[in-house]
């Protein structure tokens, strides 16, 4: 297969995979937006992600 055809195929597949990833993120964000509109759920999510970040920071300190 000629290099230009390979490059075109690679670019098309990269674009399609990127589009699918962005579309998946948009659909998930839309669903989470509705779910997080309750303050108790938003607070829970903040605590979970905050705890995860503290844990990652602690693991980085250990080496």
pLDDT in tens, 3-62: 999 999 999 999 999 999 999 999 999 999 988 899 999 999 999 999 999 999 999 999
Give the DSSP letter string of 1-63: --HHHHHHHHHHHHHHHHHHHHHHHHHHHHHHHHHTTSHHHHHHHHHHHHHHHHHHHHHHHH-
pLDDT of residue 38: 93
Cα end-to-end span (Å), the chain: 48
Residue that is written with structure tokens 């503290």 in the block: 54
Task: Give me the long-range contacts of 20-29 (CB less than 8 A, separation at least 24).
Answer: none
> Given this model, what pLDDT does residue 63 score?
73
């Amino acid at each position: 297969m000629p290099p230009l055809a390979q490059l075109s195929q690679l670019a098309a597949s990269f674009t399609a995979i990127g589009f699918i990833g962005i579309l998946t993120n948009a659909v998930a964000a839309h669903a989470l937006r509705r779910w997080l509109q309750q303050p108790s759920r938003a607070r829970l999510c903040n605590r979970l992600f905050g705890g995860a970040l503290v844990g990652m920071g602690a693991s980085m300190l250990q080496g």
